[in-house]
Amino acid sequence: MKYLYGIFTIIAISSLSACSIDRMRSEHLFEQYCNEEGRVGQFIYERVALGEEYFRAIPTDIRALDRLDKRFYIDGKKLLIDKQRFKQSYTLNNRKRTILSSIGPIYSVETTIVRKSDGKVLSKAVSLLNMLDKFSKYFPVEGVTCPTGRDIKRVPLFIKEHSNLIEKTFLVNY
């Protein structure tokens, strides 16, 4: 019995040690990715002026307001882009995950706005996510992200840069 206990102890310690080494490697690699010039942030390649036909009235009903996709507000929430009309001309690829490293795993999370007529990427927001061996497929957990920090309203920058991409890309032309 002591023999089995000893084997179990050795296996447990070895497993914990391996996990700790992988976590340290993951944290180091993640820091390298985050500090790489031009890898994360918000990138606006072209600002586009939208005509009157792209906007709709902001609802006054509380329930209708709650159902709105808040990303489609622009000009300090004074104007609301009609989501259906927007989708006819532009594609919003929201928070697409691409694995950068299986250690962690570490993901690049990218939101892009693409003009359909010519396929040009108008803007993108890129952040990184290190799951630190958390089981994201099974549990709704968040890992470590970059960019780090919060805006003046305490909204994490990795969320803000994805959620305000439409507002930063489009402006009013009427």
CA separation (Å) from 70 to 64, 120, 171? 12, 24, 16
Q: How far apart are CA 78 and CA 46, in angstroms?
A: 22
Q: Would you state the pLDDT for residue 133?
A: 66
Cα–Cα distances (Å) from 72 to 84, 87, 93, 168, in that order, read 11, 11, 14, 11
pLDDT tens readout for residues 62-103: 898 888 999 999 988 899 999 999 999 999 999 999 999 888
Long-range CB contact pairs, 150-155, < 8 A, 24+: none
Q: Look up residue 44 and give its two tokens.
A: 């606006």
Q: Who contacts 99 (Cβ-Cβ below 8 Å, separation ≥6)?
A: 105, 106, 107
Amino acid 83: pLDDT: 96
Q: Range with the lowest mean pLDDT among 27-31, 50-54, 162-166?
A: 27-31
User: What one-letter code names the amino acid at 3?
Assistant: Y
Both tokens assigned to 71: 């990303």
Q: What's the half-sphere exposure (Cβ side, CA atoms, 13 Å) at 106? A: 20
Could you give the percent of the chain with pLDDT greater than 90? 48
Q: Tokens for 122? A: 């108008």
Quickly state the pLDDT bin for 173 (edges 50, 70, 90): confident
For the chain, the first-to-last Cα distance in angstroms comes to: 82
Q: Residue 12 pLDDT more than 60?
A: no
CA-based nearest residue to 24, from 133, 127, 141: 133
- Is the distance from CB of 90 to CB of 116 less than 8 angstroms? yes
